[in-house]
Structure formats: C-alpha cells, structure tokens
Amino acid sequence: EIVLTQSPGTLSLSPGERATLSCRASQSVSSSYLAWYQQKPGQAPRLVIYGASTRATGIPDRFSGSGSGSGTDFTLTINRLEPEDFAVYYCQQCGSSPWTFGQGTKVEIK
Amino acid sequence: EVQLVESGGGLVQPGGSLGLSCAASGFTFSSYAMSWVRQAPGKGLEWVSSITGSGAITYYADSVKGRFTSSRDNSKNRLYLQMNSLRAEDTAVYYCARFPTSIHTFDIWGQGTMVTVSS
C-alpha cells in the first residue's frame, strides 16, 4: 500500500500569503495518478488538481500543483490566499491499489 | 447539472446490515466508473470501493472486503453499497464519487450520508 504523508499538518497564514503544501509518497506514483482535494467543514471534498498539475474545472489559477521527477514528492501551491481557500487539503493516489489519501493539511487563518 | 445524491444512512447495531444508494443525474451514468469513499468523524478520507461503468468489475479496500458489495443499475442511474457485518469502525460519512478513467480521479462527489454503527 502506498502511504501518502502530508506536511505540515496545519499551516497558519494570512489572506494574501502563499501556501505551500507537501505530499510525499512511500513509493513512486505516476504524476497522472496524483490529485488534490479541498474540503471545508460539513462539505464534501472538491477536486482541485488532477494529474499532479492540472486544475479542475472552476479552480482559479492561484492554485498550482507540481511533482518531482522521483514520483514521490508532490506540492500544492496556493498563491495570494483568499478567505474561501482556508480549508483542509488532501492528496490522493490511484496509481496502485488500494487507492490512498494523505492525512490532510489544514490551512487556517492566522 | 451533474449531481450525485446519497441516501440510506442511519443507525445500525454492530453485526447488522445497511444499504446505501447514490442517485446520479446530469451525465451518462453508464459511461463512468463510480466509487465509494468514507470519512470517520474528525478523520481523513478512506477509499472503500469502486465499480466499472458496466458493473462487471468491482474493487474493495481490505477493510471491507467480504462484507461490503458495490453494484449499480445503469437503467436507473443508481449506485449501491450493501454493507453487512457492520462494525463500530465502519461509522463514517459515506460519499459516492464519479471516477472518470480519463483523468484517474474523483471529479464529482455527493453530499454524503452518515452511517453510525452502535448498540
């Protein structure tokens, strides 16, 4: 099973700042199979990034995703944080069964 | 509008059974694989099961294999999850999600239905 470890657990930032979220895989994951989701309290997750770097429909361009050549390190960057961006973010892989999620990074208002 | 709506959650005793349903609308249901993902209270997300567009092939997490069964009725645009031998650790919000194999991810999620396993 591929374990996804997200860091930090919590990120305390002010609106307008940049958020950098990390997702490290215990084994190599093809970038095609790495996604990021946003979840707000009481709501279902929402797809933000798929294929490691492609924004989902309706996601603003202040969100960007990237991956290292090793296939084990992935990053979600949120530029110029807006109030609606404060939420929990999960990375997820479906390159190897069982499909797994990271434990989440909470982006909170400082 | 593309939409998924789950139903069927509730309180069930340990060892009991419960069936969940997910009604899909706004897209060609039979063209998409579908999945169930759950979230225990205050915890992260856990993939539970997936089923191909035809319903011919199903996949399960080890934690539910042999106890849960996914199925679908493409004529009714519905996805189902039959849960047997329920345990306290199955307590969670259960989401159905669309899984386009073209992008290998869960692109549309329902609002979830709560399942509580307790005596």
- Would you give per-residue pLDDT tens digits along chain B (119 residues)? 999 999 999 999 999 999 999 999 999 999 999 999 999 999 999 999 999 999 999 999 999 999 999 999 999 999 999 999 999 999 999 999 999 999 999 999 999 999 999 99
Asked if the C-beta of A33 comes within 8 angstroms of chain B's C-beta atoms, the answer is yes
A38, A54, A94, A105, best to mutate vs chain B, most B CBs in 10 Å: A94
Q: Per the CB < 8 Å rule, is A35 touching B47?
A: no
List chain A residues with CB under 8 Å of B38.
none
Average of pLDDT values for A10-29? 97
The DSSP line for B10-44 is: EEE-TT--EEEEEEEESS-GGGSEEEEEEE-TTS-
List chain B residues with CB under 8 Å of A50.
103-105, 107
What are the tens digits of pLDDT across the range B50-67? 999 999 999 999 999 999
A6, A47, A105, best to mutate vs chain B, most B CBs in 10 Å: A47
Residue of A nearest to B4 (CA): A44
Please, what sign has the CA dihedral across residues A24, B98, B53, B101? negative
Contact A18, A28 (CB under 8 A): no
Residue closest to B34 by CA, chosen among B67, B71, B5, B84: B71
Distance CA A4, CA A87 (A): 19
The per-residue pLDDT of chain A, averaged, comes to 96
Look at residue A92 and tell me whether its pLDDT is greater than 90: yes
Look at residue A6 and tell me whether its pLDDT is greater than 90: yes
